[in-house]
Amino acid sequence: MTTTKKEGKSGHPRKSRSVIFRIRRAVARWIAPVNFLVEEEELVYPPPYTLATPQYTSSEDPSNFDVHVRSSAESESSTSTAVTPDIRTAGTLTNLLTITSEGNISGAWRVDPSIEVPHTLTNPRVSASQNSPRNLDLWSTKGSIDARIDVVSNDDSDAHMKCVMLIESEEGTIIHLTREKADGCRIFLDAKSKGPITVYIPRSFTGPIRTLHPTWNGLLSWDSQVEPAVMTFKERAYPRSSHYFHGDYASSGYVGWKEWDGDYLIVGSGSDSPVKILYTEDSEGCH
């Protein structure tokens, strides 16, 4: 007796159709999570990360940082005279620091690009757009980031130096950024997350700000103190970028981000995740 395989309506064996369906579904699931990182051609981000097991020295291990979250009991026992430390004096001094974690990352760092660190002690990744090693590289693959960063320099020629920072998270990011000298080391910050992003910048920040959200759909918002200092060049909806300039645009000589070598902020969040820009000087803990 001869048996025949049951076929679907298309004439293909049901087993083959099932395999094809599973392959298509797997590809769709793989592509979906990274849709928010699709930028227009001109929005250049450093190359994507390759997930690796974190390798820390004792000084780099996040568990060694002096960061403490108070319990509710501690908060209740605190007196009303407690003072929040100035973020410009808090945190460990570092340069070319890379931290990768599956959990949340929270801490304060004083980043000094003038410090020469031997190659035997660190192996920083290079920012493709800046053609420079990253002075601070924080990456939470599954959690959030809360970073307080003070850019400092003990070099007399610090105005010619640049602090390159990349901060990326999965669940959301808050960054408090200060600069020791108003005319000091230039700042390049690339912050991205699938969740919401809040960035506090120093009032001395002078340069382009580029985001994956415009203001007119409510996903990008400026603090009332920041907005008067912002020049708008173009606003386009996600996944295309919007282009702004913070500071004295008229005397800056700015003609475009590709030619610019001063302060520069890039913020990329998820398709429905808001971005907020405020001044660090107006935030709690900076006096």
Tens-digit pLDDT profile for residues 111-139: 999 998 887 787 777 777 777 889 999 99
In a domain, 8, yes or no: no
Average pLDDT over residues 152-175: 85
**CA 60, 61, 67: angle at the middle one, nearest 5?**
100
For residues 271 and 119, give the distance between their C-alpha atoms in angstroms, rounded to a whole number.
Answer: 39
> How many structural domains does the chain have?
1
In a domain, 17, yes or no: no
Say what the pLDDT of residue 91 is: 86
Cα pseudo-dihedral 164, 246, 266, 55, rounded to 10: 30
Q: What is the pTM of this model?
A: 0.69
pLDDT for residue 184 is more than 60: yes
In a domain, 71, yes or no: no
Say what the pLDDT of residue 69 is: 30
For residues 117 and 245, give the distance between their C-alpha atoms in angstroms, rounded to a whole number.
Answer: 33
Say which residues have a Cβ less than 8 Å from residue 49's Cβ, sequence separation at least 6: 139, 168
Burial class (CB in 10 A: 0-12, 13-18, 19+), 54: middle
**Does residue 124 have a cis bond before it (omega within 30 degrees)?**
no
In a domain, 92, yes or no: yes
In a domain, 160, yes or no: yes
Say what the pLDDT of residue 273 is: 92
Q: Where does residue 96 fall: left (phi above 0), alpha (psi -120 to 50 degrees), or beta otherwise?
A: left
Kindly state the percentage of the chain with pLDDT values over 70.
66
Please name the residue that has the structure tokens 């902020």: 265
**Residue 226: domain span:** 40-47+85-282
pLDDT for residue 52 is more than 80: no
pLDDT for residue 245 is more than 90: yes
In a domain, 77, yes or no: no
In a domain, 78, yes or no: no
HSE at residue 50, side-chain half, CA atoms within 13 A, is 1
In a domain, 278, yes or no: yes
